[in-house]
Structure 1
Amino acid sequence: MQEWLEAADGKAEVLRYLKEQVPQIFCLKKESSPQEEEELMQTRLIHPLECFLFGEDPEEGLEKLKHGCSSSQLCGRVFKEGETVYSCDCAIDPTCVLCMDCFQDSVHKSHRYKMHASSGGGFCDCGDVEAWKIGPCCSKHDPGAPAAMVTDECDLEPELYERAEKLFRILLRYVTDFLVWEESFELSAELQPRKDNAYYCVLYNDEHHSYDHVIYTLQRSVNCDPAEAQIHTALIDKEQGRRAVKRGTLRSCQQARDLIRSNSQHISQQPLRVEILHTTVMAHQTFALRLGSWFQKIISYSGFRQAFCQVALEPDTDRDHLCLISRLMLHDAVMYKARKVIHELILCSMLMETDFKRLFAVEFTKHYKQLQKDFINDDHERSISITALSVQIFTVPTL
Structure 2
Amino acid sequence: MALFNSTTARFPPAMSMSMNPRDRPSDPLSRLRFALETMPGSRKYVFTPATRAEILSELYDAFWGQYAHMFLPLSNSSLPMHATLSQVQAELGFAGAGAAEDPVIPGRPCGHIFTKGESCFRCKDCALDESCVLCNRCFRASSHENHNVSFFIAQQSGGCCDCGDPEAWRQSLQCPYHPVLQEAEELSHAALNTPDTTPRTAPRSISEAEIPPVPNFPFRAPCPPELRDIMGRTIGYALDFLLDTLDYSPDEPTIPDNEADLRLQPSADPMQKDQYCVILWNDDKHSFDEVIQLLCDTTNRDRKDATAIAHTVDEQGREIIDMNANAGRLLEIALIISKIELGVTVRRAYDTFREQVAMVIIEWLVDLTRSRLGADTLVTREVIAAELLSPRRRESNIYGSGPQIPDLSADVPGAARIDWLFLYHTRLWKKPRMCLKEIYASILTLSHPHKIAVGSHFAAVYHRVIDAYLLVDREAETSIKYFALQLFTVPSVASYVVRHHDLVTRLLNIIINFFTNQIAEKRILKNTTASTDAGELDVESFPFKSKRFMPVFSDLRYLCHNQPVQRLIASNVSFIHKFAKVCQLFMCVHPNKRAATSHVEYETDAWISVFNVTLSLSRVIKVYGEAFAWATPSQLINAITTVVLEIITVCTLSNDKLDKNKFSAPAFHSVAFGDVEYTIIEFDVLEEWVSFHHSLHWLLAELLKHVDILSEESLLQVGVASVRDLFMRISTEPMILTMIDFPLRVLSMVAQIRSGLWVRNGFPIRGQLLHYRDFMLRELCYDQDLFILQTSLIILDPNTVFVSILDRFGLLQFFCGSVVHPVYEGVQLSSMVEEVLYVIITLLTEKASASKMPLPAAVRREIIHALAPGPCSYTDLVKRVAERFVDDVCFEHVLADVAHFRAPESTSDT
TM-score of the pair, normalised by structure 2 = 0.37
- Paired letter, 1:360: V
Instruction: Judge which range, 94-103 or 196-205, deviates more.
Output: 196-205
Instruction: Judge which range, 131-140 or 19-28, deviates more.
Output: 19-28
Structure 1 match to 2:162: 125
Instruction: Judge which range, 355-364 or 52-61, deviates more.
Output: 52-61
Note if contact 2:232-2:383 (Cα within 8 Å) is conserved in structure 1. yes
Note if contact 2:164-2:180 (Cα within 8 Å) is conserved in structure 1. no
Note if contact 1:23-1:283 (Cα within 8 Å) is conserved in structure 2. no
Structure 2 match to 1:147: none
Gaps in structure 2 of 5+ consecutive residues: 10-29, 75-88, 98-102, 182-216, 251-264, 371-376, 395-406, 494-910
* CA positional deviation for 1:346: 0.8
- Paired letter, 1:346: Y
Structure 1 match to 2:344: 273
- Paired letter, 1:323: A
Decide whether aligned partners of structure 1 residues 360 and 245 sit closer, same or farther in structure 2, where only a CA change above 3 A counts. Answer: same
- State whether structure 2 residue 350 is matched by structure 1 residue 332: no
Q: Give 3-state SS (helix, strand or coil) of 2:477's partner.
A: coil
Note if contact 1:77-1:124 (Cα within 8 Å) is conserved in structure 2. yes
**CA distance in structure 2 between the partners assigned to 1:243 and 1:259 by the alignment:** 18
**CA distance in structure 1 between the partners assigned to 2:114 and 2:218 by the alignment:** 18
- State whether structure 2 residue 232 is matched by structure 1 residue 165: yes
String of CA shifts for 1:115-147, please: whole Å, max 9, x gaps: 221233311001101111223462122277xxx
- Paired letter, 1:28: V
Note if contact 2:444-2:454 (Cα within 8 Å) is conserved in structure 1. yes
**CA distance in structure 1 between the partners assigned to 2:96 and 2:117 by the alignment:** 33
**CA distance in structure 1 between the partners assigned to 2:54 and 2:297 by the alignment:** 36
Structure 2 match to 1:59: 72
String of CA shifts for 1:276-320, please: whole Å, max 9, x gaps: 232x44343223222223222323432222222121122347574
Note the 1:176-325 alignment, pairs <5 A. 176-179=243-246, 181-182=248-249, 184-187=265-268, 198-237=275-314, 239-249=315-325, 252=326, 254-266=327-339, 268=340, 270=341, 272-278=343-349, 280-300=350-370, 301-316=377-392, 318=394, 320=409, 321-325=414-418
Decide whether aligned partners of structure 1 residues 108 and 176 sit closer, same or farther in structure 2, where only a CA change above 3 A counts. Answer: farther
- Paired letter, 1:394: F
**CA distance in structure 2 between the partners assigned to 1:137 and 1:161 by the alignment:** 36
Decide whether aligned partners of structure 1 residues 70 and 124 sit closer, same or farther in structure 2, where only a CA change above 3 A counts. Answer: closer
**CA distance in structure 2 between the partners assigned to 1:111 and 1:393 by the alignment:** 26
Q: Give 3-state SS (helix, strand or coil) of 1:102's partner.
A: helix
- State whether structure 2 residue 28 is matched by structure 1 residue 17: no
String of CA shifts for 1:345-388, please: whole Å, max 9, x gaps: 11112453321221221121122222223222356443312111
The partner residue of 2:120 within 82, 85, 92 is: 85
Note if contact 2:246-2:427 (Cα within 8 Å) is conserved in structure 1. no
Note if contact 2:119-2:154 (Cα within 8 Å) is conserved in structure 1. yes
**CA distance in structure 2 between the partners assigned to 1:364 and 1:75 by the alignment:** 23
CA RMSD of aligned residues (A): 3.6
> How many positions carry a matched residue from both structures?
372
Larger Rg computed on CA atoms: 2
Structure 1 match to 2:442: 348
Q: Give 3-state SS (helix, strand or coil) of 2:277's partner.
A: strand
Decide whether aligned partners of structure 1 residues 53 and 96 sit closer, same or farther in structure 2, where only a CA change above 3 A counts. Answer: farther
* CA positional deviation for 1:165: 1.8
The partner residue of 2:171 within 117, 120, 134 is: 134
**CA distance in structure 2 between the partners assigned to 1:299 and 1:26 by the alignment:** 32
Note if contact 1:84-1:99 (Cα within 8 Å) is conserved in structure 2. yes
**CA distance in structure 2 between the partners assigned to 1:8 and 1:336 by the alignment:** 32
Note if contact 1:312-1:325 (Cα within 8 Å) is conserved in structure 2. yes
Note if contact 2:425-2:479 (Cα within 8 Å) is conserved in structure 1. yes
Structure 1 match to 2:486: 392
Q: Give 3-state SS (helix, strand or coil) of 1:127's partner.
A: coil
- Paired letter, 1:182: S
Note if contact 1:326-1:363 (Cα within 8 Å) is conserved in structure 2. yes
- Identity within the alignment, %: 22
Q: Give 3-state SS (helix, strand or coil) of 1:108's partner.
A: coil
Decide whether aligned partners of structure 1 residues 56 and 277 sit closer, same or farther in structure 2, where only a CA change above 3 A counts. Answer: farther
Q: Give 3-state SS (helix, strand or coil) of 2:291's partner.
A: helix
Structure 1 match to 2:61: 48
Structure 2 match to 1:98: 134
TM-score of the pair, normalised by structure 1 = 0.79
Decide whether aligned partners of structure 1 residues 292 and 110 sit closer, same or farther in structure 2, where only a CA change above 3 A counts. Answer: farther
* CA positional deviation for 1:226: 3.7
- State whether structure 2 residue 108 is matched by structure 1 residue 73: yes
Decide whether aligned partners of structure 1 residues 371 and 111 sit closer, same or farther in structure 2, where only a CA change above 3 A counts. Answer: same
- Paired letter, 1:10: T
* CA positional deviation for 1:96: 0.5
Note if contact 2:419-2:457 (Cα within 8 Å) is conserved in structure 1. yes
* CA positional deviation for 1:271: 6.0
- Paired letter, 1:48: D
- Paired letter, 1:357: K
Decide whether aligned partners of structure 1 residues 328 and 264 sit closer, same or farther in structure 2, where only a CA change above 3 A counts. Answer: same
Note if contact 2:366-2:436 (Cα within 8 Å) is conserved in structure 1. no
